[in-house]
Structure 1
Amino acid sequence: MSKRTVITGIGVAAPNGLGTEAYWKSVLAGSNGIAELDRFDTAGYASRLAGQITGFHVEDHLPDRLHAQTDISTQFALVAAEWALTDAGIGGDNTLADYSMGVVTSTAQGGFAFTHNEFDKLWSRGPEFVSVYESFAWFYAVNTGQISIRNKMRGPSAALVSEQAGGLDALGHARRTVRRGTELVVSGGVDSALDSWGYASQLAGGLVSTVSDPARAYLPFDAEASGHVPGEGGAILIVEDEESARGRGAAHLYGEVAGYASTFDPAPGSGRPPGLRRAVELALTDAGLTPADVDVVFADAAGTLGQDRAEAETLREVFGAHAVPVTAPKALTGRLAGGGGPLDVATALLALRDGVVPPTAHTTDVPEEYGLDLVTGQAREVPVRTALVLARGRRGFNSALVVRAA
């Protein structure tokens, strides 16, 4: 086994695009996936906006038996995994032995809509009406399990939960799994909690914007930032040992997972600094790179003044003021919890492929003291060989992942 771990397949299910190329086209065009949520009556809710996936019909993608077993988030994950495996050329006669393939995914929310539908049955009709599939359809490990079962992948597998940081943690763990001898790992993250209860729980966190204009609600690094917009979806990627991938004739080597690190913030009031800078430095060290080697940063972009200021300070301390292009394509999708990091990694790999940095939509007024070279307005065509992707989860999770041209 080689020491280099590469991405050979990408599958995207996002509010502004189903499928990798449809999503990428939307990102470069600035097509907004944020709109008024229409899955239930939002009257009385403090916010009504979400990054909602539309045009997805499960019957077009999955067999009937899976419809009743799975939450919408798992349906997205299964389809994105199928797209990623197809993109990687895995299937048919080109399938590795099942014990040579594992699955590592992240979700922060589990099967929210499925579970709350079953709760409603329990309370309104009685326990005999609750689906037997409730025993697992809600669980954080369900996406890993369903992908593994459907694709006969019995190698080392795992599920990680660390909110917005979880998707990067899953990819970091997938890289570790490949380095330990598993040839291929299906990895990434997908989340969805846009039913009435799931949406209410996200609003209860106090970080969701109440601005009603879809183009002004989520403004990463803007002086008028007032919170984020929840979204659904994410990305599944195929992580492989480079030697094995080349040996089987993989059609794509989108890039190498060159470095990864995670840290945890100290307790509030401790006087110690947040852990994001340390995560960045450790990831670059792991990749054998210096800050000068990074061509673009895909920011966590929380969308609140305090958190944006803190992230900007970290980037300024590590790279210097205005020293590296920074972008946050998630302004078009909302924050996707466990799916956000993998979607940013997929976007970074496409930026490497096409030599273009996508813009941060809608943000127009970046405070000068942030010291950011934030790409806004139009995409920026520049050579991109190395990208740093950041993610922060609630309660102190920090993750950083470096991808580099293969």
Structure 2
Amino acid sequence: MREPGRALVTGLAAVAPNGADTREFWASTLAGVSGLRRISRFNAEDFPVRIAGLVPLRDGEDCEPRLNVQTDRWTQLALVAGDRALADAGLVPAELPAYDMAVITASSSGGNEFGQREIQALWSEGPRSVGPFQSIAWFYAATTGQLSIKNGMKGPCGVLVTEQAGGLDALGQARRALRRDADVVLTGGTEAPVGPYALTCQLTSGLLSTVDDPARAYLPFDVDACGHVPGEGGAILVVENEEHARARGARVYGEIAGYSATFDPRPGSGRPPTLARAIEGALADAGVDAADVDVVFADGAGVPDQDRREAEALTSVFGPRGVPVTAPKTLYGRLYAGGPPLDVVAALLAIRDGVVPPTYGGSRLAPGCDIDLVREARHGTVRTALLVARGFDGFNAALVVRAA
């Protein structure tokens, strides 16, 4: 294991419902342009949920044709973002040692649209109609594998499957890989769970919003909170060992400074949830105090009891209204494993531009949510951001990014 160095973000690419590329995503987020819209990819009129965050890219757009038949939409979105992140970092993988480059991504639902098409073919036409790529396209590690193959990245590769928390877990593991033997890690995550099968599965959680008005469907921490809006997209980032990044004169967006993960006890056990412990662990890992944090990018479940528990965790660490809290995902939905990497992109751009993007929609904080929720863009110095993510059934993750 090498001497621990800083993990620096040198490239990033967003593929979001409110912006098909990073520049458009950030401009839309600051301007309050929503990517939530009525589902049009299939007939959703008989579903109780008819609003989702949809990326304005067609299937296969900007993706190599030979890969289209092998991959689900979620992997295609990651391949597009991966190319853009590498270009943003000024890296050409073919010029680097293959075993010094790694790929670590997160996934929650896998290739569900691809899988649904193949299962329908099996039922209606028989087993000979099922293509060979069904065996890999649905799998949670498909995106990691395709990014690795396309870019010749043969270092430590993996995938984290902890629902929304996985988006931060992947970046935490990327930093670990850099401390061990990698120089460059392609990391983050995307999702595309907006199809009949995927939506049916999500409905069983009882956590989705059934409000048809995109402006009122997803209101975390608000008195009118009624669930979250599902969405597709996410972000891929290039993270480098500091020595490697400095040696090639790379532009640096910021540092992955701290990370921690916990798991909640069984409901009814009498033991408290552990989100606050994850937050404290990430701050300690980064070597910063609560007073050093300029903004928190919240998980923002949009479910009243979950919002209250997150607010209680934040106030236990920072005090009542002790830190600005934002959830710009009200503009693009809950993207599961793709959401936190997109939040990381927003946090790094907030650091770069000195502005905290607001939480759009809503009018009044719900009882028990004693937080300083940012409702209008706040300009000023931003040097340290905390990101919080929770996965279904108890996963918690917290990540600290700061200016380099």
Structure 1-normalised TM-score? Answer: 0.97
- Give, in angstroms, the shift of residue 18 of structure 1: 1.1
Q: Deviations over 1:24-50 (max 9, x none)?
A: 001000111111101111121111010
Partner of 2:42: 40
SS at match of 2:132: coil
How does 1:6-405 map onto structure 2 within 5 Å? Answer: 6-56=8-58, 58-59=60-61, 61-91=62-92, 95-250=95-250, 252-367=251-366, 369-376=368-375, 378-405=376-403
Deviations 1:123-157 (A, max 9, x none): 00111010100010000000000000000000111
Instruction: Decide whether aligned partners of structure 1 residues 92 and 303 sit closer, same or farther in structure 2, where only a CA change above 3 A counts.
Output: closer
Task: Give how far 1:368 is off.
Answer: 5.9
Instruction: Indicate if the aligned counterparts of 1:322 and 1:372 stay in contact, CA closer than 8 A.
Output: yes
**Inter-partner Cα distance in structure 1 for 2:194 and 2:315:** 35
Deviation at 1:249, TM superposition (A): 1.7
Go from structure 1 to structure 2 and tell me whether the alpha carbon gap of 1:371 and 1:193 turns closer, same or farther (over 3 Å shift): same
Q: Which moved more, 1:315-324 or 1:389-398?
A: 315-324
The sequence identity of aligned pairs, in percent, is 55
SS at match of 2:165: helix
- State how far apart, in whole Å, the 2-side matches of 1:255 and 1:235 are: 16
Q: Secondary structure, in 3 states, of the residue corresponding to 1:188? A: strand
Q: Which amino acid is the alignment partner of residue 182 of structure 1?
A: A
Partner deviation per Cα, 1:360-395 (whole Å, 9 max, x = no partner): 01122113642211001x211021000000000001
Runs of 4+ in 1 over 4 A off after TM superposition: none
SS of equivalent residue, structure 2 residue 85: helix
C-alpha distance in 1 between matches for 2:242 and 2:80 = 25
What code does the residue aligned with 2:187 have? S
- Give the residue type in structure 2 aligned to 1:84: A
State whether residues 2 and 242 of structure 1, in contact with CA within 8 Å, keep that contact through their aligned partners in structure 2. Answer: no
Name the SS of the counterpart of 1:58 in structure 2: coil
Contact 1:300 / 1:390 at 8 angstroms: preserved in 2? yes
Aligned AA for 2:397? Answer: S
Give the whole-Å Cα distance in 2 for the aligned partners of 1:176 and 1:274: 26
Counterparts of 2:146 and 2:247 in 1: how far apart (Å)?
Answer: 28
C-alpha distance in 2 between matches for 1:162 and 1:92? 29
C-alpha contact (below 8 Å) 1:2/1:243 kept by paired residues: no
Distance 1:320 1:108 in 2: 32
Q: Is the 8 A contact 2:325 2:374 kept in 1?
A: yes
Amino acid at match of 2:9: I
Residues 222 and 364 of structure 1 are in contact (CA less than 8 Å); yes or no, is this contact kept in structure 2? yes
Distance 1:190 1:86 in 2: 18
Q: Contact 2:35/2:331 (CA < 8 Å) preserved in 1? A: yes
Query: What is the CA distance between 1:62 and its match in structure 2?
Result: 2.0
* Alpha-carbon contact 1:106-1:338 (below 8 Å) kept: yes
Q: Can you list the C-alpha shifts for 1:312-355, whole angstroms capped at 9, x where unaligned? A: 11111100111110000111111001101111111100000000
Instruction: Please give the alpha-carbon distance, in whole angstroms, between the structure 1 residues aligned to 2:70 and 2:228.
Output: 31
**Preserved CA contact (<8 Å) 2:93 2:153:** no
Structure 1 residues 190 and 92, CA gap change in structure 2 (3 angstroms): closer
**AA in 2 matched with 1:11:** A
Residue 262 of structure 1 aligns with an amino acid whose one-letter code is A
Gaps of 5+ in 1: none
Unaligned runs of 5+ in 2: none
Report the secondary structure of 2:48's partner residue. coil
Count, aligned residues: 402
What amino acid sits opposite 2:113 in the alignment? A
CA distance in 1, matches of 2:55, 2:156: 31
Letter in 2 for 1:264: F
Q: Please tell me the residue identity of whatever aligns with 1:58.
A: G
Looking at structure 2, the residues matched to 224 and 23 of structure 1 have their Cα atoms a distance apart, in angstroms, of 26
1:279 and 1:400 in contact (8 A); partners too: yes
Deviation at 1:92, TM superposition (A): 7.0
Q: Find the aligned partners of 1:36 and 1:21 in 2 and give their Cα distance.
A: 24
TM-score, length-normalised on structure 2?
0.98
